[in-house]
Structure 1
Amino acid sequence: MTTVPCDAAPERQRTAAAWEVLFIFLRLGITCFGGPIAHIGYFRNEFVVRRRWLDERAYADLVGLCQFLPGPASSQVGFSIGLIRAGYLGGVAAWIGFTLPSAFVLVLFAYSASALAGPIGLGLLHGLKLVAVAIVAQAMWGMARTLCPDRVRGSIAVIAALTILLITSPFAQIGAIAIGGVIGLWFCRAIAPSDSGHVATPVSRRVGAAALLVFVVLLSAPLILGRHGAPGGFSLFNAFYQSGALVFGGGHVVLPLLQEAFVIPGFVSNDAFLAGYGAAQAVPGPLFTFAAYLGVIIKLPPHGVAGAFLALLGIFLPGILILIGVLPFWDSFRSRPAAQAVMRGVNASVVGLLGAALYTPVWTSAVKSSDDFGLALVGFALLTLWRAPPLVVVVLSAVGGIVLGQIA
């Protein structure tokens, strides 16, 4: 794959590319149901299979890197894709496009305190869960064929899946990837080095180091400013920043962190907290947009839309900063033979993570009957055999969920 550095592209071309990124991610932000693992499947279908902006190994490397780092992995992958395509403006456009739709819906939910109810609403939500089954199954199938073509890497994927399924710790995901890297270092050296997968980003090492410095300074800000010396609105921003900086292992891990930060001190009632978290499961896009809902209802200034903005900025910023900080050093690291062997193991582990997620929580929360399995199977066939657009599968699965709900 050849990627033209953004610095060599004319300003008008970069701006046009950023608009392209924005519109694509807006569509994904409206249609990407099913949580971060499903989002990775949607992104793969859009940017690896359909648009060929990245090859399979480059994409898997990005996923592996973002799984290692704290923060929302799917949003970090999306930001990286936008950054590669259209520079910093493209990264911001990707984040805005992917985040805005679900954040907007959750802000409306916070103001209206209403949710889908009744058989039609419940059937619709259930159909959307079944979309995730088809998307994750398609992603696992496609990535396994490319990234686990031999017994060693297939075995690494199985080990990673078993690690996730048998160990309940939120750090199990990081452990599974680390184990895959160690096994790859020892057993995947004999494989011929691959030149594919190169990722060119506009981030210099100086900018990366500055991003890491800002990440650490903001993380240490409460110690620097003291409990009572923070300016207005900073307490709200900082509470979300601290939570976003400590999330490893997927978006759902942020739940106990936010609960401890806001429910225990009494800033948000437990009932309101759980209601918003339930609504966040029903909307597309990143789970971290749950912060927008909390920013509206929380008993910390500035509340409302301004509070939602500060909450979103606070919870997403640490993951973006640390990603920018690591990217300049990533390509040189992974070009070494030993690093390539590690990444083969890591890529196989990512396939195992997809397989584990396909079972739980995706399968266990969605497939409750043979009818559910049939609807998910139809979605999988449409995606893999007929190359149907994900939006078509989303609509058909939603309608199918409503129909099954009415029959039941």
Structure 2
Amino acid sequence: MTSNKHIIHMDQDAFFVSVEVRKDSSLIGKPVIIGGISDRGVVASCSYEARKFGVHAAMSSRMAKMLCPHAIFVKGNMDAYSEASFEITEILKSRVPLIEKASIDEHYIDMTGMDRFHGTLQYAHELRQTVIKETGLPISFGLSVNKTVSKMATNECKPNGELNVEQFEVQDFLNPLSIRKIPGLGEKTFVKLSDMGIKKIHTLTQIHPDQMNSILGKNGLSLLQKAKGIDNSPVIPYQEQKSIGTQCTFKADTIDVDTINNLITSMVMDLAFDLRQKKKLTACITVTIRYANFEDVTKQATISYTSLDSVLILKAKELFRQVYQKRMLLRLVGVRLSNLVTGHEQIDLYSESQEQYSLYQALDKIRNRFGDKAIKLASTLNIDL
């Protein structure tokens, strides 16, 4: 029923928290919550100590504080988490034949065929130890015959664990687990199946495919396959990042256009700095706003490849003017740069871009030496939204 593959699923343990702990060892063993501390904030990640109190990702910060009043809140730093993620990906992809980056903190590795040269379980163990040693970050892995079972194995052995589920063990491993453990099974589906008395994977496997199809359609048939340990989805090769972006949810809904424009300037400057650090250029810029009624509106434009602040800021502000039409209160603004390529600015010797690029190089040196917040435009100071 299952294919004879060797798929490793590697997942960082409470990744954002682990990165913060690496920077500040005083957080070790404490209930740590990554996310905004205002009532509008949301939990992005939390330590296992905080999870014991019922705190989980996507929970409101207000509820998290009620459940765990002594928790330590950390605002979080996506740049630091992205850098740590890149660090781990580079270690893994240099040592395995085929890797898929499934998210910022998890990877699938296809070792099929390599078992002739390596004992796959031993190799996965050594790979995990290499990541821990070189990054100082905890990581767990599951090894099995496909992506679904390997991911479920990882989830069962976290934190800081290893679990190998052989082909003949797959159904025995899955049967006693809650259907909630099946990847991709959402809350509504869980409630619907639970109301029918289907709470364990073993029970789910006894349901006829026609009945599953009538209950949940194609999604039901997919869940039934996963419950039986069947998943033919391939490991998709890792591809280089194609976009970078940032967004800001305001403390209170606002209509202060001048301040929002200054915020956009600051956001674009940070993104452009990131581009130049990675030796990248962008050919597409997107601005997104969210009204107070949660309606999202997006506008994008194709531009000549660039990493210059001035070009990107001008275009971002133009897009904001185009996208903000209703004059309603705004809740969020975001900027994304996409169609990224590796390269340097093509400077026109007869234009001002050479002067600008020289200026940005000087500013970048200051940021690299004293931190990315060391120098800013005066208009972007004291933004409080």
Same fold (TM over 0.5): no
1 or 2 for the larger relative contact order (CA 8 Å, sep ≥6)?
1
- The answer to which structure has the higher strand fraction is 2
Considering fraction of residues, name the structure with more helix.
Answer: 1
Structure-1-length-normalised TM-score? 0.24
TM-score of the superposed pair, with normalisation by structure 2: 0.25
